[in-house]
Amino acid sequence: MNEPAITDMAALVELLVEDVLPALPSRYAFVGHSMGALLAFEFACRLTELGHAPPVHMFVAACSSPSWRTSASELHRLSDPELLAYLRELNGTPRELLENDELMALVLPTLRADLTATETYVHAPGRRVTAGVSALHGRNDVSVSREAMLAWREVVNGTFSYHEFRGDHFFVLQDEADVLDVICATVRER
């Protein structure tokens, strides 16, 4: 809570390089949901640039492909009440948290910084990850289309698969057992 919020994807990646790379095993996989998928993509690309082995596989959930930017989203510019309404619509934040004004006052700046990092991210043309990728998607996700998830194949040097689940943007919580089955089965194959 005492650290400044980071609003730049490249800066976040460099912090991961600094903090995570020293502890990263030679074989690993990434699972990223929403912003985490985009961050995992950039982190994996950066690790490869640094000469580290790429992940054996990546699971990207509820996030448009880095190459799929149809229009600039402005969620990070919403007023606090508008942002809270959006969070309610996404259906992933507990009602008790959304109704706690003191806690939301602490959380909203970080959430806004994350949205800024995601919404101002620009994919470098031709940037691809050297790993197999599984795109995981909730069939009722109103924030990410099926086409945007399928576009992940455009940034992959490796195998690509698409898996659809019951639920919305937070299908990973709503259909947890099936999501874990796909992740475990895929990792076992690697």
Positions marked catalytic:
34
Cα dist from 43 to 16, 38, 80, 181, whole Å: 7, 9, 30, 25
Q: What is the DSSP string of 54-122?
A: PPSEEEEES---TT---S---GGGS-HHHHHHHHHHHT-S-HHHHT-HHHHHHHHHHHHHHHHHHHT--
Distance of CA 28 to the CA centre of its chain: 17
Say if CB 39 and CB 19 are below 8 A apart.
no
Which residue in the block uniquely carries the two structure tokens 């400044």? 4
- Write out the H or E segment, with its range, that includes residue 12: helix 9-20
CA 152 to CA 145: how far, in whole Å? Answer: 12
